[in-house]
Amino acid sequence: MDILKERILREATVVNADVLKLDSLLNHGVDPELTMEMGKEFAKRFAGRTITKVITVESSGIPVAFATAYSLGVPLVFARRKKTLLGDADAYVERVPSFTKGIVTDLIVSRNLLAPEDSVLFIDDIIANGDAARGLLKIVEQSGAKVAGIGIVLEKSFQAGGRTLRELGYKVESLVRISSLEGNEIVFE
């Protein structure tokens, strides 16, 4: 998506060789019009696949996942991220490390929000190592639902997340892929 590349070049800052800061678009703010365009683009890329639900992780995945669900005309489910686990019989729970926060959290999805008949599209804003994605996919699979595909706004392709998911056989579509942040420079693939 060229418009997204332009906005990234104008508005993102490179924090270090691994981390990009994109507060105006993904991490701290939302451009509604551009976000709706992202949703349309994901809907287009997964056209032809049966999708009954979109799923994401709170918080920064929610706007683009909402836009995608709106374009597809299906409901959105977002996993909650919690620091503690007191066990919850009514929920699926997966423990995942967080790349930027350096902590371990639990992803939680209520059992009554996913059914074996569902075919679920996972949408997220950024993929790094893919730990959150793999955790969420485990939850979808535990529910008996199918994974229809994975849509990522920004894939940092120098980290293993996207590649690993493709190797597992998932269809992964990224709107923008960044191959390097070395030397303070954003390099698109």
Binding site for ligand G4P (CB under 6 A): 19-22, 27, 57, 59-61, 98-101, 125-133, 156, 161
Q: Which of 22, 27, 28 is nearest to 8 (CA)?
A: 22
Q: Of ligand G4P, Na ion, none, which one does residue 161 interact with (CB within 5 to 8 Å by kind)?
A: ligand G4P
Binding mask 32-61 for Na ion (x = CB under 5 A): ----------------------------xx
Our CB check for ligand G4P shows the closer of 50 and 100 to be 100
CA terminus-to-terminus distance, the chain: 12
CA distances from 173 to 29, 42, 92, 135, 139 (A): 23, 8, 26, 18, 20
151 touching Na ion, by CB under 5 A: no
CA–CA distance, 151 with 171 (Å, rounded to integer): 8
Contacts of Na ion in 73-132 (CB under 5 A): 125
The structure tokens 């949703």 sit at: 39
Closest approach of Na ion to the CB of residue 48, in Å? 26
Interatomic CA distance for residues 177 and 158, integer angstroms: 9
CB of 165 to ligand G4P, least distance (A): 10
In this structure, what token pair is assigned to residue 52? 């009954």
Provide the 3-class DSSP secondary structure of residue 152. strand
CB of 100 to Na ion, least distance (A): 7
Residues forming contacts to Na ion in the complex (CB under 5 A) are 60-61, 125
